[in-house]
Amino acid sequence: MKVCALFPGQGSQYIGMCSDLLNSEPEANQIFAEASEVLGFDLRALVMEGTLNQLTVSEYAQPAVLTASYVLFDSFVRRTGMTPDYAVGHSLGEISALVAAGALRFADGIRFTARRGALMHRSIQEQKGRAGIVVDLDQAELEDIVCSIRQTHYVSISGYNSPKQFVIAGTAAGLRLLDEKVDHCGGEFIPFRMMPMKADAPYHSELMQFIQPELDEMLAEISFSAPVFPICSTVQSELIRVAEDIPKLLSSQLLQPIRWNQALTRVQSLGATVWIDIGPGQSVRNMLAENMALPAAYSLDDPQDRSRLLERYDAVSQTSRGGEAG
């Protein structure tokens, strides 16, 4: 079987992430301790005892989600010996995938996501734009609506989450007009301001160009390595295989739409048959459930899913040993 590891982005965080592993595995506590040392505050205390409002602020949410994702990944790898055949990360999740694949040191990933989150939060403070989700509308129809609005106001599809779920970024006026047109066509626009864990900002659009110079300075300070397993970037829906490609992709990532659905289709075409949501919550698993062309994903943060997946790996391992013995 070919396995694709899926890493979620900001918005998947919640108070109590990884509590079962933190209570049972010393390695999980060591990972949180390393993140805390880099950040200069007790990340474990924030995740276990803080408030969701604080954990939703990008400069805290991003290193927290990266850390939780890495804890889940590390635990599963130690138990199964798994090396994914492919990985895909949703925005921030692409950085988690790079850390998991050894292309980026964990400490550098924590430092980068905290600074990246602080930069991204400025788009909220400076009111650069807003965002929301469109559901129950075909991609072609939504693209026509966006094209018509762009003649007078800025709007953009900033995320292709599933065949009928799309993230939209734009100006307030542009999004009001989009809301009217989407409703008229039978779809629904849900503003991020109405969704507690979502940052109401125009991420992954041209409205984020103001942060690129600082982002490039940060990336210039980081050393990257070739990933030990290929990552399908959502910037171009192409596989990341060499270190030299990574800084350019991360530099343009926040200005380009998240081509999540396109990346999944690409990995499926390469033979992926098992999909594992490796991160807090079940947001990735739920997005895959909206795509009828893909099989259901397992969520490592769901105890039942984790048990079923471990049983599947144990069965495969036993079959392999039986074949070797024969």
Q: pLDDT by residue for the chain (326 residues), tens digit each? A: 899 999 999 989 999 999 999 999 999 999 999 999 999 999 999 999 999 989 989 999 999 999 999 999 999 999 999 899 999 999 999 999 999 999 999 999 999 999 999 999 888 888 899 999 999 999 999 999 999 999 999 999 999 999 989 999 999 999 999 999 999 999 999 999 888 767 889 999 999 999 999 999 999 999 999 999 999 999 989 999 899 999 999 999 999 999 999 999 999 999 999 999 999 999 999 999 999 899 889 999 998 999 999 888 877 766 654 554 44
Give the strand pairing for 3-7 and 86-89. parallel
| Host H or E run for residue 215 | helix 212-220
Write the CATH number of the domain with boundaries 3-125+205-325: 3.40.366.10
Q: What is the SS3 assignment for 18?
A: coil
Q: What are the domain boundaries of the chain? A: 3-125+205-325, 130-194
Distance CA 80, CA 93 (A): 22
CATH class of the domain whose range is 130-194? alpha beta
C-alpha neighbours within 13 Å on the C-beta side of residue 128: 21
Q: How far apart are CA 99 and CA 102, in angstroms?
A: 5
pTM of the model: 0.93
List the structure tokens of 126. Answer: 């400076």
DSSP 230-289: -EE-TTTS-EE-SGGGHHHHHHHGGGS-B-HHHHHHHHHHTT--EEEE-SSSSHHHHHHH
